[in-house]
Structure 1
Amino acid sequence: MDKALIAIAAAMAVLGCIGGAFGTAKVAAKAVEGVARQPDASSKILSLLVIGAAFSEITAIFCFLIAFILTGKL
């Protein structure tokens, strides 16, 4: 029973990666929109894009690590 619960918890942790993907897509879409509106500010927008993508991907990385830790306990 415990192994089944750990497997379910690992699967739920992997579902957290979906949020990171949607967050990164949203950040990239807004960056492209910003560059289209103000091409002169593209370098500043690019730096903010990298920071925003890093913040949105860190949750996916944590979820992935938690899933690996949980599958190691199987």
Structure 2
Amino acid sequence: MKSSTIFVCTMVLVLLATTAMAENDGSDFCDTRCEVRCSKAGRRDRCLEYCGICCDKCHCVPSGTYGNKDECPCYRDMKNSKGQPKCP
């Protein structure tokens, strides 16, 4: 009984560690792409915040510092509460 409990606990820890690593990988992707996207923005901190939100939801960021939103329809079509484009 004890060995099966230890085994189950070990497997849960391995699963949690794997999930945490996968989340960090996605975050690194978004951070890197948003740094490029917002590199010329006047309000860089705001750009990075919204780009990060959009990237987390859409799993993509258009190339370049402006435009190219057709590369990522989810990113392009996301709107704020006023109906304006949310993603930089």
TM-score (norm 1): 0.51
Q: 1:10 aligns with which of 12, 21, 41?
A: 12
Q: Is the 8 A contact 2:30 2:52 kept in 1?
A: yes
Q: Which residue of 1 aligns with 2:25?
A: 22
Please identify which structure carries the higher helix content: 1
Query: Larger C-alpha radius of gyration, 1 or 2?
Result: 2
Higher relative contact order (CA 8 A, sep 6+): 1
Which structure 1 residue ranges, 5 or more long, are not aligned? 57-74
Two-structure CA RMSD over aligned residues (Å): 3.0
Unaligned runs of 5+ in 2: 60-88
In structure 1, what is the equivalent of residue 36 of structure 2?
Answer: 33
CA–CA distance in 2 between the matches of 1:34 and 1:4?
A: 47
- CA deviations on 1:48-71 (whole Å, 9 max, x unpaired) are 312434788xxxxxxxxxxxxxxx
Residue correspondences, number? 55
Cα distance in 1 for partners of 2:37, 2:58 equals 19
Aligned residue number for residue 46 of structure 1: 49
CA contact (8 A) 2:38 2:48 kept: yes
- TM-score of the aligned structures, taking structure 2 as reference length: 0.45
Moved over 4 A (4+): 40-45
Query: CA separation in 1, counterparts of 2:58 and 2:16?
Result: 17
